Amino acid sequence: MSIKTSRRGFLKGAAGLSALGIAGFGHAAARVPSGKIRLAAVGVMGKGFSDWMPMIKSGLAELVAWCDADANQREAALRHKATKKIPGLAENLAKIPFYTDYRKMLDDQAKLQIDAMTISTPDHMHAAVAIRAMKMGIHVYVQKPLVRTLWELDYFNKTAKENGVVTQMGNQGSGTAGLRRGVEVLQSGILGDVKEVHVWTNRPVWPQGKNVAAWVKGHPNGDPIRKGLNWDAWLGVAKMRPFLDKYPANADVYDPWKLGKNVYHTFTWRGFFDFGCGAFGDMACHTMNLPFRGLELGAVSDAGCTTIDSENDVAYPLKSVVKLTYKERESKARPGVKLPAVTLFWYDGNIKPSADLMPQVIAKDGKVPNTGCIVIGTNGILCSTNDYGGESFLALKGEKVVQNIKDHPACKVIPVTLPRCGAAGGGMDKSAGAAALSADGHYIEFLTAIRGEGPVYTQTHSRAFSDVEYSIPQMEGILVGCIAQRLPGQKLNWCSCKQSFDVAAANALVKPCIRKGFEF
């Protein structure tokens, strides 16, 4: 689908007409609101709740519409204890328009006058909702992974730039001072030449693998659709199929965190090829964040899945190892310095890199951590031992144990180069879950960027630290890796300029299904 760049000049002068765009198909310049930002939420509970709630708590935004394919989620949000802590909020939310179909909400844009939107849906709907919204001049905060397929990624990038909107991908750890300090340390060159990185996670913690595929294929007639669920809208761009409710208690399905044994909804859609990006898409946006930014990684040249457990044609595997190669590049943090190509190994399903790679980490923790990353250079190693990169540890050559970069003498002379991300209105309530680890800064930054406030980051040429100049190249490598998981044992060479692989079976996975009526 092409984008008409020749209209750019006209659109720049048409900001006042942004509310009049046809849903998904017109173009309209982004507005800069003078008062509170008029926010809409697509996906209102789970991650959705912890996306829109801090924006409301900040006082910078007001929720003017919300949408969820499952109407039961609206009632859950109104009852949530965090909602009740804010006087009058539940009463106000009960009065705003609620939709189960995002298309109808966008059709009402002339009335709603939405400035910005949070998109916290299953992965397969991120691009469809965001691209329609951006074409109407609406700024978008999109949960990770930004999109599900490479074709959508390219389209998202072009649309965001065409319409001049602010975007922020939901890798909330980007807002922490600890992550930013780790990036500064890596960008200083303290590790020397870095050619090898290992990133690992304990995910998946939801059902996926062969047994899930067998269950779906064995139940072609489906189950009754739950009351309040708009199944057509939930499927969106995906091929029509019967609704499947829950696995029985005795089903032989991987479910280590006891997530309710839902087949698709809620949350357990993530392992299906048609709806999610598995563990790689879920966690790499967080766990790769530190090395990707710190090493200034960009173009991925090839990928291959070297280890796989529970391969099938419906859902992602239970375990895998993927090898990615990133091209050499010029450093922007240290002009004139050429950075070498990097081999990055991704491990999921609780597979961990060898302890032999990190004796200094073993000396500190006694074992390889359950999640984290390690960056290996000619002068030493740097590692993070959590999902969000909030703390980093360094050991230079000859040092026997890693030390927190806050305390390491060699780090104390490295200058602060990245602005720190403040959190208006205080930290998020700890009951809000994983997002609490980042406080509110990543969300507040999105809102202030819309208002034209705050520093402009050299990495993104934007006031949002996870805008498209960062999120697009990071996502490209992840999505190339997701395709490698579906074609194990093959080396897949990827050309970003041509948006194609050298393997036909991989090219068949570049573009998503787009069901009639959900075009964008």
Percent of the chain with pLDDT over 90: 87
Closest CA to 210 of 252, 164, 243, 242: 252
Please give the pLDDT value at position 422.
Answer: 65
Mean pLDDT for 74-86 is: 96
Would you state the structure tokens that stand for residue 434, as one six-digit string?
């994983």
Bridge partners, residue 315, by sequence: 272
What confidence category does residue 424 fall into, taking pLDDT thresholds of 50, 70 and 90?
very low
Please give the pLDDT value at position 9.
Answer: 31
Check: CB of residue 179 under 8 Å from CB of residue 437.
no
Cα 133 to its chain centre, rounded Å, is 18
Write the pLDDT tens digit of every residue in 330-348: 999 999 999 999 999 999 9
Please give the pLDDT value at position 32.
Answer: 73
Closest CA to 233 of 121, 40, 100: 100
Closest CA to 454 of 418, 414, 415: 418
Please give the pLDDT value at position 56.
Answer: 95
In terms of DSSP bridges, do strands 139-143 and 116-119 run parallel, antiparallel, or are they unpaired? parallel
State how far the alpha carbon of 124 is from the alpha carbons of 28, 120, 153, 233, 386, in Å.
Answer: 24, 11, 12, 12, 27
Q: Which residues contact 401 (CB under 8 A, 6 or more apart)?
A: 360, 363, 364, 395
- CA dihedral 448→98→231→318, nearest 10 degrees, is 30
Q: What are phi and psi of 382, to 5 degrees?
A: -130, 135
Four-way CATH pick for 180-204+279-314+324-424+478-507: 3.30.160, 1.25.40, 3.10.350, 3.30.360: 3.30.360
Check: CB of residue 65 under 8 Å from CB of residue 37.
no
Write the pLDDT tens digit of every residue in 51-66: 999 999 999 999 999 9
In the chain, % helix, strand, coil (3-state, to 5) comes to: 35, 20, 45
- So where are the chain's domains? 5-170+426-454, 180-204+279-314+324-424+478-507
Please give the pLDDT value at position 264.
Answer: 97
What predicted TM-score, i.e. pTM, was given to this entire model? 0.92
Mean pLDDT for 230-250 is: 96
Q: Which DSSP letter does residue 509 get?
A: T
CATH code, residues 5-170+426-454: 3.40.50.720
pLDDT exceeds 70 at position 417: yes
Euclidean distance between CA atoms 3 and 429, whole angstroms: 42
Please give the pLDDT value at position 83.
Answer: 95
Please give the pLDDT value at position 10.
Answer: 28
pLDDT exceeds 90 at position 4: no
Least confident of 279-293, 426-440, 480-494: 426-440
pLDDT exceeds 50 at position 20: no
pLDDT exceeds 70 at position 352: yes
Q: Which residues contact 366 (CB under 8 A, 6 or more apart)?
A: none
Euclidean distance between CA atoms 304 and 484, whole angstroms: 5
Please give the pLDDT value at position 260.
Answer: 77
Cα 396 to its chain centre, rounded Å, is 32
Check: CB of residue 134 under 8 Å from CB of residue 165.
yes
Tokens 């804010």 belong to 86
What confidence category does residue 437 fall into, taking pLDDT thresholds of 50, 70 and 90?
very low
- Mean pLDDT (the chain) is 91
Mean pLDDT for 197-204 is: 97
Please give the pLDDT value at position 27.
Answer: 62
pLDDT exceeds 70 at position 512: yes
Q: For 309-328, b where at least 16 C-beta lie within 10 A, e where not — what string? A: ebbbebbbbbbbbbbbbbee
pLDDT exceeds 60 at position 1: no
What confidence category does residue 258 fall into, taking pLDDT thresholds of 50, 70 and 90?
confident
pLDDT exceeds 60 at position 423: no
State how far the alpha carbon of 186 is from the alpha carbons of 17, 121, 376, in Å.
Answer: 45, 34, 11
